[in-house]
Amino acid sequence: MNIIALNVNRRAVEVLAEPRTSLADFVRDKLDLTGTHLGCEHGVCGACTVLLDGVPARSCITYAVACQGADITTIEGLDEDEVTAELRAAFTREHALQCGYCTPGMLVSARDLVLRLPDGDERRIRVGLSGNLCRCTGYVGIVRAVQSVIEARRARNIAPQAGGGRSCLGPAGSGRAAPGRNEQPLRLARQEFAPALDGVAPGVIPDFTPATVLEQRFTLPHAPAKVFAMFDDIVGVAACLPGVSLTAPPSPERVVGAIRVRLGPIAAAFEGAARVERDPATLSGRIIGIGTDRRSHSATQGEIRYRLVPVDDGTATAVELSIGYTLTGMLAQVGRPDLVRDLARRLIADFAGNLDRHMSGAPLREVAPAELSGLSIIFDVLRARVARVFGRFFASRGGAG
């Protein structure tokens, strides 16, 4: 995750986002500016068009992290804009919209034409709007609306702006590379995972906000006090976790080690450190760690929160887990939540079985990398789909009865 600092609709924002997050997803999901629409997501249809430093740009193919320090204007930021107000009125007057899905991007592009073109030449307007697709109108009303605004403004002696405000050649947003303008935000973004990317266990494990959170629960046939005491045995707990190994003697508050993970043909070994927190009063705790895989140049931050709940009149314990993580680098491309959820479920099942055996004095299973094979994914998907089909069938039969 990177800290992305920029100005959106004249407001400074600093938000955590993954390097692969598009500007469109950033303004929609992180800032709730849903006026920016997603259509083709290939930079073809123009529905996602926003202003990047005053220049129309396709936000679906622009990385948010590449916009550090930039000024972004979405359709919401043009509510008080004089040109856009005239265009909205003209679009209504000329019946230039039907479903309205393309309209935000169309207005942003049309505004640029109104600022730049010397007159309302139909051919130049059609060429200028050729990057904005509409499936409803046939474009006739849209072209007329843009023509009418251009002609009205020129009749009021409002001259066109050379280049529409562009100050240099190059892609949209390239004009923001003035010396010193965005050096500090870029430095902040690079530093967030600096300790992990160096492969050195950091002296202080930082708090963070996980990008993905998974909930898990399992039950052990042992009293809560005994289970909580077991969780205080760091060496014993590490021995129960598939793929985990300690690389230095642990302290009550700090662990240094590694975890090996395999996703089909992809193998990773994350080396790092973790901070351990415990609260005996509530039988709960937290483990927060940071690590890197040197081979893939990937970094991760993870957090495990646990709470022990007595069940069966206190003779057994339900272990409630909240597992949060953030993954960056090459492995982030395959670390999708559904795959990680399946991997976590298998890892926790093995962990629970090993804990029970350890607390009962039985030998543990051989520690192996936490593994998720492609074949097992296929079987799980088929099993889930068959269960849903039979569930719907029996539900319908029950309703009919």
Q: Is residue 20 part of a domain?
A: yes
How far is 270 from 390, CA to CA, in rounded Å?
Answer: 41
Q: Are residues 23 and 94 in the same domain?
A: no
**Three-class SS state of 238:** helix
Same domain, 228 and 363: yes
Statement to judge: residues 117 and 202 lie in one domain: no
Q: Which domain holds residue 170?
A: 2-77+163-188
DSSP string of 11-71, one letter each residue: EEEEEEE-TT-BHHHIIIIIT--TTS--SSSSSSS-TTEEEETTEEEEGGGSBGGGGTT-E
Spatial CB neighbours of 327, under 8 Å, sequence gap ≥ 6: 211, 298, 299, 300, 335
Same domain, 154 and 239: no
Residue 296 DSSP code: T
Q: What is the pLDDT of residue 378?
A: 46
Among residues 323, 230, 360, the alpha carbon closest in space to that of 283 is found at 230
> What CATH number does residue 348 fall under?
3.30.530.20
Task: Tell me the C-alpha to C-alpha distance, in Å, between residue 160 and each of 119, 150, 170, 351.
Answer: 9, 9, 21, 69
CATH number at residue 42: 3.10.20.30
Beta-strand (E) ranges in 242-349? 244-246, 254-263, 266-279, 284-293, 298-311, 316-328
* The predicted structure's pLDDT at residue 121: 94
Provide the pLDDT for residue 44: 93
Q: Is residue 399 assigned to a domain? A: no
The verdict on 183 and 231 lying in the same domain is no
The answer to whether residues 69 and 150 belong to one domain is: no
* Among 171, 188, 205, residue at a domain's last position: 188
What DSSP character marks residue 144? H
Buried b (16+ CB within 10 A) or exposed e, 315-324: ebbbbebbbb
Given CA atoms 394, 397, 399, 401 in this order, what sign does their dihedral have?
A: negative
CATH code assigned at 133: 1.10.150.120
Identify the pLDDT of residue 334.
57
Q: What integer pLDDT is reported at residue 264 of this predicted model?
A: 57
Radius of gyration, CA atoms only, the chain: 28
- 3-state DSSP helix/strand/coil percent for the chain, to nearest 5? 40, 25, 35
Residue 147: per-residue pLDDT = 97
Within 10 A of 90 (CB to CB), how many other CB atoms are there? 22
pLDDT of residue 268: 77
- Burial 65-85, CB ≥16 within 10 A → b, else e: bebbbbbbbbbbbbeebebbe
Q: Is 272 in the same domain as 296?
A: yes
The pair of structure tokens assigned to 25 is 């997803």
Given a cut of 50, the residues of the chain with pLDDT beneath it are: 177-202, 367-375, 377-378, 381
Residue 172 lies in a domain: yes
pLDDT, position 1 = 72
- How many domains is the chain partitioned into structurally? 3
pLDDT score of 394: 62
Helical residues (DSSP H) of 170-302, grouped into ranges = 183-191, 194-197, 224-231, 234-240
Look at residue 343 and tell me if it is in a domain.
yes
Residues 349, 361 share a domain: yes
Residue 269 Cα to chain centre, angstroms: 23
**183 and 270 share one domain:** no
Residue 322: its pLDDT value, please? 87
Residue 14 lies in a domain: yes
pLDDT of residue 175: 52
